[in-house]
Structure 1
Amino acid sequence: MKFTALISILFSPFKWLRKIRGFRLVYTPLIAIVLFTVVMGIILGTLHLQEKNQQEAALFRELSFAKQRIQLRFANNLEAFTSINRELAATEDQVKLNKIAFEQAQALALSNHEIIKIISLNQNLQNQWMAPQGSKNSNWIGNTQNSQASTSALNSTVELSKITGRAAFSKFMSLDIPSQDPLAKESSIVFWQVVPNIVGGEAIGYLAVLYSTQGVLDIIPSDLKAHYRFTLLADDERILSISSDRGTPKRSFSNQTSLDIGVLSPNLTLRIDTYPPPTNLTFRMLIGVLLGLSAFVIWSLWSVLKQMQVRQEAEASLRKETSFRNAMENSTPVGIRAHDMDKRITYVNRAFCEMTGWNPEKLIGLKPPFPFWPDARREELSEKMNRALNSEVVSKKGIEGAILRRNGTLIETRTFIAPLINEKGKQTGWVTSLIDISEPKKIREELAASQDRFTTVLEGLDAAVSVVDLETNELLFANRFYRENFGNDSKGHFKLAGDINTIKTLHDIAEDMHESAPSIPASFLYQESESEEIQLSEDGNHWYEVRRRVIPWVDGELAQLQIATDITIRKEAEELARQQEERMQFTSRLTTMGEMASSLAHELNQPLSAISNYCMGVAKRLDGNIDPNLNKEVLPALEKASEQAHRAGTIIQRIRGFVKRSEPQRKTSSIADIINDAVGLVEIEANRHRLSIESNIAANLREVSLDPVLILQVLVNLLKNGLDSMREAYPLSSRWSAPPVKISADLDTNIFPAMLRIRVTDSGGGIAESVIERMFEPFFSTKTDGMGMGLNICRSIIESHHGRLWASNIMDSEHTKLVGCTFTILLPIESSDSIGNA
């Protein structure tokens, strides 16, 4: 110890030298910068101050000179006015003296620009004469619009002069002088000077002189006004006149002085301002070079100083970081230890020593297996540690382990391992941190067991259970049934929530309660809503019975609990029962209609047969017994009436047989004849409504085996439907331009075997998609007086012939509007027997 102290004493001077050297290296550049900046500032400031003092001295001299010139002019004028008054006051040869006085005044007014006019007034203030005469000498008192103000000011000044017995001045007046007047500029602001003519102590007259403030500045020499701007100011800093409108710089020099032009004179102030001086190029170049050199030197010294500061800051930051790391390691409850590449402990902090109960001296240098590991788990912990140290991926979850304290207490730990990399990027060991998880692990195990029991119950339910935060709309909980049917977000919850206004109301209540008192009224919580049936068509038209309740969540925020039970099977059963009931009603109505059709067929056959027999009998009696011309008109009509009555009976028989489910009475027929007969039957009604029918039958169509009466009835029904659609689409006034209802027949060769195709096309407004889907159902009709059996019977007739019947809409060229509808019939060309044999 003594040797160490001696060495320390011997080397202490070198420590002081290093400190002095460090101080010199750090602060010498800073001191140089400060000294150089101060010297340059003193030099520039001295030059600037010297120039400023010279300009201010020159400005004061010129101002004093201008003041003396103005005061001298007013003193000379007063002396001249006094001399004129003496001439006017003389008693001998008055006319001649008055003329001399006038000539003196005339000469004085013409030679002095500041004088606008001179007026001689007697004791009663009557105008004796006025100078000068001519264009300049206007009658300012009587002939201008300023006479009242001028006269009032003159009277006040005369009164003041009369009282004091001295020359007096009036206040400043701003006259409104016409712009075309040559004296407008000089005479805009004026003032009076009244000089009394005192004889024997009494004023026998007055000499009134009108001065112009602009003229006062004309007293100053022109060369002086070329270098400076002079301004006359009143008491209230009002500008009376100015020598030039030329502007002055912002940093110009200025000075002012009071003008004493008389005992009773107004308070006039004369101000002088400097104009920008001519550029001193040499001086500015000198300043520029000086500033440039100064900036370069400062930048150089500043760079050196910054480098030193960066080094000092790095050292200070390193010391601060080291102190912070030591304080953090000693204050944290997390145990920290370091290992070298041989897994030997190289460092431990205070918390790790407290965990193990061992001091640092005994822990540093130990290699696994460590003595603070439990004996029964040493192999397990060694394997975990080796696996973690040899792994290239750092585990964020850590590894669970255990520590046996020196006093025998066992604690559960979680260890996190990270590689220790030096400044060269090379690994030199590992750093491990340990946290005590004994108590949290015990609590977590208990909570996990409780959570498992609760989750098992909810997961086993055949109902969707979901909890949503009312403020953030976040899904807080969802069971298996909810996840399988609605996913892992809250969209399914709000689909089942129903009314959007109710959801918004709950959000507002949650926000109000969050902003107000933290307590939630018990009457609001646990208030279960009535069950509600919700239909969701997006996932296969499912039905759910939904119950809701507002509950406080684990974090104290309001949440909505919702339980949705799938009742789709029950709804489908109810719907199936309803459909069965409707089918029973349809069957009953069809049975009743079949019975009515049979009764009508039986009742109508006899009168139709009688009509046919009567028509034929009348035709035979009239044959050969009437005029041949009349015979050609009457007999064909009677024969057609008999034929139509017979055909009507045949139709009734066919419908009766169809109702009884008998097969059509097929025979080989021409489809062209059937279409022509149908057009002939419907064309009368079409002409009555100003509409037309156009038929287009392909040539060489072979005859087909079918029931012509039933097929004719189908075509008549479809043509009538087309006419009805045209009547709705076109008003009566514009039907002359309406396109015709078209019926066509041809072979459809796009299918095999080829089939007979019949199409009925109209140009009406088309048919709504919802109507097309149900138009062939029994008892469905869009007409107020329709029974809804026409199209159903038509399709049944076509299907009994082993054919097809359907409808399709026609769109315009832009596919934006319905412009018509087409009914298409496909019939087999061969008979059903041949089809069956084939």
Structure 2
Amino acid sequence: MTDWLPGGAGRRSLWVALMTLVLAVLITLVWLAGRYEASQVQAELERDTADAVNELRTQLSRHVQAIQGVQAAQPNAAQWQQEMLSLLREHRDWLRVEWRDKAQNLRNQADSPLRSPVFERNPRSDMLNETLQSCLRARRLSGPAYSSTYFLPQVDGLGFEVMELCLPYVHAGELMGFTVVTYGLQELLQERLGKSFGRRNELSFTEPDGTRLAISGTQRRGLRVFTAQQLVDLPGNTLVLRMDGRRGKPDLFPNVLTALVTGMSIALVTVMILLAKDSRRRLKAERELAEALAFRKAMEDSLVTGLRARDLEGRITYVNPAFCQMVGLDAEVLTGRNAPMPYWPPEMVDEYKQRQAIRLAGNVPPREGFESVFMRQDGTRFPVLIIEAPLISVQGQQTGWMGAVIDISEQRRIEELSRASQERLQATARLATVGEMASLLSHELNQPLAAIASYANGSLNLLKDPQAVPQTLDDVHMALRRIAEQAQRAGRVISSVHDFVRRRDQARESVLPQALIDAIAPLVNLQARKLNVKVHFRVEAKLPWVVCDRTMVEQVLLNLCRNGMQAMDVPECRERVLVLQVKRFAAHSETGWLEFSVTDVGVGIAEEVAQKLFTPFFTTKPEGMGLGLSLCRTVVEQHGGHLDFEPLQPRGTVFRFTLPGDTQGTKGVDALLLDKIKA
């Protein structure tokens, strides 16, 4: 065997090679054993971290249920204070509980009796930004929402991180207010996870860059630290829970030496078997990988959503068939291309380049959808919705961006059809209003026209009398003045209706509230005289101008007034009074919003009717179309306001809606300016 080697030098070389091989195998096995032990420790820590996240979510869900239990009882202020103090004693991680109405105004509060008030140093009003954001998010989600964490300084010169939970209180389908709970992150770790997971591990909440917000437990020095992180995905906020395991390093020679001695003796026999098994496993893994790749390819080919992957430089690395079909280009043409893309419209290239630079710089939050316009190969443009997120590799590093592209051409077409249908409905409602006004005009105009005819005939008879005296001429002058007054009265009525029903494009302008009232006053008084209704117009002094579509708002006011007067047209309603009032909106007085209200003392609205009151084509009138109140709410909401109603005690109904004021223009008018405008 060693004849080709010179003397013992060859044998020594073989022994050295053999010893080296055995030593290498032994070191490798020991190293693998150490790695295995470390992987087991890390896997256990990962499981503990996942269990801790689940435990934290469960505890927070129970907190929400406890608050909902208090809300369901509908307590008064004293009962609410007592219930919340009891919950604060049970939950040390609760620092403060607040009861706010739907306008975010503070109605009641309770601080933890286990510590000094957390807002002792800084006023609560300075820390409301995150609270308002979370409550707006909770209102949109119709469920609990958590705020982002923020630092809260204390009187001792220190401070801590807090997070707030906002839970909306909805009763009978109507938002009544919010319950806001302030959590201390440090206490949240200690109370919810410290007893179960803090004995062997160090727990902490961290920011995405690794900055620690709160820490629970102690770290023993001189030991190897195993770290695991899990996202705590909460509605409105995402926390990072980090768990550092306190474990000693694996021994250099773990308890595998006996197995190594035995294993080395049979290693030469078993190596071929292991290689054969490994070969079979590798072939099986390759088949499974090929099947998985084929399955993924089939799924991607069947998608109707376009998929596009880009690297960190912005070059396209992958597109699926749906994207190719969407833009009319092959994958070979698109792969490897950088800005400008062939599916970008030429007139938008500069804008798209700037947007791509912002996206690649990482200044846009991930998974944020935005609309854009693409161009097909034949030059046609079509709108798309793009949702992009970072493309993360197995090593946890970002390698590019993955985007989903959705063709929203059909959606835009449906929206346009819906908008056209809404405009037609509005036009139909206006025509219905014209029909109702025509019957009233025919009755009311008979009086001034009859008076004009009588004065004219009397004047002609006086002028034909040859014995006319100067006193008779004075009577003729008085009759002519009466004719002019009656003609002006008829003209004002006709002009009001003409201005109201005249079809024109919607255009918002700054209008005096008094001008809106004056525009509809002749029409309101016209029907009021017919139904024996007293109408009171009340406009608060020094009101700002209102920004609105004048014709549409006049239609809303006129429709509400007409409904109020018709509600009082019953025999049991003897005293008929309608009040049309304009004042500042109390809930947002500082922002310049105005509140319009129409109050009647009619029979009121039944509960079963109130549930369908704003439903299109629902009406209680035999001659009605059921579009009036539905269109009124649509008009008010298009202006950013809200239309609602409530019963009036002992009888009657109040309809209210809000409109934005022109706070950047005229702040108010005095009586002199108002008289000039009326003139």
Q: Fold-level match, TM-score > 0.5?
A: no
Which has the higher relative contact order, 1 or 2, with Cα contacts under 8 A spaced 6 or more apart?
Answer: 2
Give TM-score scaled by structure 1 length: 0.28
When Rg is computed on C-alpha atoms for both structures, the one with the higher figure is 1
Give TM-score scaled by structure 2 length: 0.35
